[in-house]
Structure 1
């Protein structure tokens, strides 16, 4: 049984570790399918490098998960919620949404309609994010301390990255043998199969399992259709605005990106004085949609801006490199099969080693030491691609660069998740973690949209040098971040 009490050496129940590893698998499976693997598919279908860079903006959608995260804490999916509880209801609904979205994305090949491909990718990104929001809030509530968070985070990211890397590798191998449609339909079926063990978990809710599943599936079908309509309408509006502003594949989008990226920092800084003047009781009684976020700025004040700047920089290199790493390696002459095998063998092992090491050290070392080491390793992983580009075509060289990149990403990801989990208020765990983890990728993913244009102008080597240097830039803010202490309610 998933909820068993057998404990491992970490002191955390083994069943709990298995559960969060499973949730990591469910969330990690689709990630590459709407990001790096999709960029490689687009390149193979003749889409230009600048436009491929624009597709990185699909990953912007998860950064806004704080807008709907409070819903997960307060409202459940009809049918599922009564039997499985609020968070598990969203986990089950998200699994169905993920499977449907992957299947739809499979059928958009050969990407003759790029708006349609982007629409399906956005739907997949949304449902993947919903799953993460529900699982993250539950994790923080179950284990509010660093000693327990380290092992659980490691298990969760271990499942996440193993599924992410294995899916990426498997898709490329299958695509090389049977084409892109089959390559996407296989993980769609696997995502649907992941629904089963969670649905069979014993719960103490009301009603029967069968009636809960039937009602939940019906409600989820309506939810998936409603979300698709909203995403389609928003996408059409954005395309109309881009056309009005005459923004296309040849446009210099950097000034727009920098302006948009700075806007939230300026808006939040302007609001902090008014938030800080309010009493703790007034903040606590704020309405649900904004209360968790007012609480964060009330507790940290202007230091919150430094915290947000730090989290924005910390994963910058990873996000930028992810956008173009696969098209870059393919441009060097490596085949889909070679790339897929490197991901399946080296990347998976290296990523798991990085996650395990990061989770272990996060539970034992001071936060400053692990965060600094994570930034350094992530930067070195980016620089490994510069070395690969200067090296003769060689499978061992591909494996070495892939291993360095994935170990650094896994280590930095584990310690970063633990750090974010410890600075949120447990009373608003889902919402505040969603806000911080989403904001952490807002600036990187905005800039990633211009990555293709930058690489096309300055070359891949300059791009990976820049991305690695940005990872290291987080070290400049680390001393200020470590000295931040939240204000206590009186």
Structure 2
């Protein structure tokens, strides 16, 4: 397979749909979190009220609870996956536009209700988008598809985060900015008009009971199911530990200013993550799933040593830039392979529910390492802590090696299902 063939992977309708629908998937997140928080802060709301609004994001944690409904039922237009995407996106356009007409000081409770609705619809869109990605991408395209999803999602977060704040403050004001963000959701709706259906349509569950029980029965009937779940938890765990206190470390531990960290960590880090995901997705076309997971997993572990170097050397902006670039580049590559793994493990009849459950399990490490990291730094110091993050990454790599035949088998089965 030559380089031109690799590039052709990125030039088909399925990959194009991943980019545009990834953008639509990422756009609402900041509008109910960071951007909304900024709006309430500017309007002078008290800190307790602002903190309470963080609860609207609970829908993203519990989205697996209603995922079976989206596996079981098919809307009347556009089929099982695109139909649900259309419904959620139209709802998001209306919900975000409604938020524009609810100033925090004058219509706080209506704003809270609409923000909760937008978060629910956004989490629902994520469920169906992940299922659609799993169903429509061919096995050879999953690495590239995962990379392009990350690109679209991150670009949308920039638009609805940093750009929205600048527009609201300097150009449009809050109401017009939220109306503009609602209009940008139209990108996803337009994409659905030409986004392709899967090559081989999957059978939907025949009953709601099958939609709820079937995904679990199907997964746990597979050989090595429990080991697969453990691999999902462990594979990105070292990466999660390294990133859990990275901002605090760069300011307090390494001695950089908040401004330096903001410019380098956020801007360069985001660019490196996107580049890593795209590069990783391209490499996966040649390497396949298992070899990509192994190579990127090792790189994720080794790249954490950059933070250890920062901890034991005097602060220098170039050293921080190199560390951030390498760590996020390797993390982006690992993310592309990991998302491809989740897609491979899903039965397309239950892909909404199984992907929601597996991704929720994958987030366990990211959510709960924070408190543990704080205790470890307090007890050991920064330099030993970052050496420890390399050690934490190794069990996932070793388990992956032990399960190499299992991963190869699932990769082969995925190819046969599409053929």
Q: TM-score, normalised by structure 2?
A: 0.71
* Residues 133 and 108 of structure 1: CA distance in aligned 2, closer, same or farther (over 3 Å): same
| Shift in Å, 1:361 | 2.0
Deviations 1:112-140 (A, max 9, x none): xxxxxx99998776544322211111122
Counterpart among 380, 392, 395 of residue 302 in structure 2: 380
| Shift in Å, 1:89 | 4.8
Trace 1:84-483 onto structure 2 (pairs within 5 A). 84-92=78-86, 94-95=88-89, 126-143=120-137, 145-164=138-157, 174=166, 191-201=181-191, 203=193, 287-300=210-223, 303-331=224-252, 332-336=255-259, 339-340=262-263, 342-344=265-267, 346-448=268-370, 450-451=371-372, 453-454=374-375, 457-458=378-379, 459-483=381-405
Q: Is the 8 A contact 1:169 1:339 kept in 2?
A: no
Distance 1:351 1:443 in 2: 19
* Residues 372 and 69 of structure 1: CA distance in aligned 2, closer, same or farther (over 3 Å): same
| Shift in Å, 1:474 | 0.4
* Residues 305 and 108 of structure 1: CA distance in aligned 2, closer, same or farther (over 3 Å): farther
* Residues 383 and 8 of structure 1: CA distance in aligned 2, closer, same or farther (over 3 Å): closer
| Shift in Å, 1:342 | 4.6
Distance 2:312 2:98 in 1: 38
SS in 2 for 1:427: coil
Count of aligned residue pairs for this structure pair: 383
* Residues 196 and 166 of structure 1: CA distance in aligned 2, closer, same or farther (over 3 Å): closer
Deviations 1:269-288 (A, max 9, x none): xxxxxxxxxxxxxx998622
Aligned-residue CA RMSD (Å):
5.0
**Paired residue for 1:73?**
71
* Residues 183 and 108 of structure 1: CA distance in aligned 2, closer, same or farther (over 3 Å): closer
Deviations 1:79-113 (A, max 9, x none): xx444544345435555777868998xx999xxxx
Q: Is the 8 A contact 1:306 1:480 kept in 2?
A: no
Deviations 1:411-455 (A, max 9, x none): 00101111222222223222222222221222442333x246426
Q: Is the 8 A contact 2:96 2:179 kept in 1?
A: no
Q: Is the 8 A contact 2:82 2:192 kept in 1?
A: no
Q: Is the 8 A contact 1:370 1:415 kept in 2?
A: yes
* Residues 90 and 386 of structure 1: CA distance in aligned 2, closer, same or farther (over 3 Å): farther
* Residues 56 and 398 of structure 1: CA distance in aligned 2, closer, same or farther (over 3 Å): farther
Distance 1:315 1:453 in 2: 19
Distance 1:26 1:381 in 2: 31
SS in 1 for 2:17: helix
Gaps of 5+ in 1: 1-6, 41-46, 110-117, 205-282
Distance 1:196 1:102 in 2: 12
Distance 1:119 1:325 in 2: 34
